[in-house]
Amino acid sequence: MKKIILVLFLALTAASCVSTKSTLKNVDDNAPDLILKKDNTFAITQFSKDKKYGYDPDYPINIFFQNTNNEALNETRFLNALAGPNGEKITFTRLETCCPFPTKRSNMGAGFLNVYELKWEGQKKPVILYLNVYEKGVLMVPMGLRLKQ
């Protein structure tokens, strides 16, 4: 009986950590499926005109690609397609996971954003991007960055 009560308590506690309404503003289930290029990066053809895209947790870069079993691979496919504002080679580091939100694409019913820091030579301040592997959206290059040549 104690085990049942403990399991119920843990389930209720976990469920209370995630809001029932998502705060994400740029989810688009009708967005085109992502396409892989020969160099194992995502094909990106659009550039965001929204300063919040990728830089604000409510406007993350949505990189859902077939499944979320290997989120780091899909994040790497996106980040490796990018370059600094003048074409500089970027390096990136995953800093943390944050910002839980409800999603149907997770066994838990909740998703999380992964926060990455991007650096390149000559940069004054690192760039912080929020990536979401659970939802779809139109994949774009965030303002201030370029596509790698």
Nearest-5° angle of CA 127, CA 141, CA 88?
55
Whether 14 maps to a domain, the answer reads no
Whether 48 maps to a domain, the answer reads yes
Q: Global pTM? A: 0.84
Whether 4 maps to a domain, the answer reads no
Q: Which of 21, 73, 5 is nearest to 42 (CA)?
A: 73
Instruction: Quote the pLDDT of residue 20.
Output: 66
Whether 68 maps to a domain, the answer reads yes
Number of domains in the chain: 1
**Cα 135 to Cα 65: distance, rounded to the nearest angstrom:** 9
Per-block mean pLDDT, blocks of 10 residues, the chain (149 long): 45 49 88 91 96 98 76 91 97 97 89 96 96 94 96
Whether 138 maps to a domain, the answer reads yes
Whether 66 maps to a domain, the answer reads yes
Identify the domain containing residue 52 by its residue range: 20-147
Q: Which of 69, 130, 65 is nearest to 97 (CA)?
A: 130
